[in-house]
Structure 1
Amino acid sequence: MSAPLSETLTQLRVGNQKFLIDFYQHSRHLFARWAQRKHRLSAPQAHELLQDTLLDFYDQVADGRITIMPTDLRAYLYGMAQLRLDAHVPAHQPLPAAEASRRQRLLAQFNQLGTDCQQVLTYFYFRGYHFEKMGAKMGFANATVARRQKSTCLRKLYELVRGGYEPITGPIE
C-alpha cells in the first residue's frame, strides 16, 4: 500500500485489484473488531461485509464515480460499510443481468485472442507490469516492442468487441 494514491486509482481503473486485496488482508481483523463492537456482527459476517464494500468501491472507481482517491481510505470504506448496513443491502448481491452478460461476452472475446495477446494484456492490465518487465517476461527485444504488442493486442480485442474481427489463433505479428 505504499504506491501514490493517484497511481493506485489508475491501477484500479485498469483492473489491477492488488491494492484492494492487500488492504483486505491488512485490515480485515481491525474491521471485524469494529463491526463486532458497533454492529454485533460475527467475524465471518464482518469479513463478508468488508469484501462486499471493497467490491462496491472497486466498481465505483472502475465506472468513474470516484475520480479522486480518498485521503483516509479506511474511514471512507468504513463509511461505505455503515451505509450498506443502514440500507440493509444483502451480502454478495449478484451483478445485474446486463452487466453479467457484458462481462461474459468480453471474457469470451478475450479468449478468442491468441495466447500471446492474452498474456500481454494480462501482464499489463491485471498484474500491472511496466513495459520493461513485460518485455523481459515475453522475450521481446525492448520496452518499445512490448508497448507496440500491447497496443496491437488491445486493438484486436477492441475489434473483436465491435464484431469486426475473426478469432486470432496464430502468433503475434
Structure 2
Amino acid sequence: MKESELELFQLLSTDSEKGLIRIYDIYRSEFINWCVKAYSTNEDDAADIFQDSVIALYYNIRSGQLTELTSSLKSYLFAIGKNTALKKINKQSKLLINDDVVRLSGQFEQIDHFEDEDKKKVVAALLDKLGEPCKSILTLFYFDKYSMESIANKLDYKNEHVVKAQKLRCFNSLKKMTLERFNQDQL
C-alpha cells in the first residue's frame, strides 16, 4: 500500500470530513469511469454507486471492522463498488422482471375481466406449446403460488437458483409468444 493511502486510511479513521473529501478528490472520476465501462451504467448510477461504496468504506473503518488493509485502499474501495454495482444491477433486473410479470399478469387479468375464453385458450395453448419443464414451472409459480424452493423440490432441481434461471427463460419465451400471437390477431 502506498504511503499516501496509509495516511488517507488513518485520516478516515480519525478525521472523517477531510478523509472523505480526499477520497472524493482522488477516486471519484476514475471510479465513475470504471463503473460506466465495467457495468454499463449511466454516470448518475455510477455516482450513486460510488457514494454508497464510500459510505460502506467509511463505516467499515469507523466501526473497527476494517483496522488494516492487506491491499490498496483503492482496491478495497473498488471491490466494494463491484459488489454495490452488482447488487444494483440485480435489483434493477428484478424490477424489470417484476414489471414484465405485472404486464403479463395484467394481460391475464384483462382476459379474466372480460371473460374472453378465446384468449384464455390461446394463452393455455401457448403454455402447452412451451412444453416441459416450462409449463410446470410457470404453472406452479404463477397460478399455484409455489416458492422457488418448493418448485425445486417438487421438480427435482438442484436448488431454487436453478429454478429461478429456468423460470426467467420460460417466462421470456411465453411473453414473446403471447405478444406475437396477440399482435398477429390484431393485424
TM-score of the two chains, using structure 1 as the length reference: 0.44
Greater relative contact order (Cα 8 A, min sep 6): structure 1 or 2?
1
Structure number with greater Rg is 2
The structure that is helix-richer by fraction is 2
Q: TM-score of the superposition, structure 2-length normalised? A: 0.41
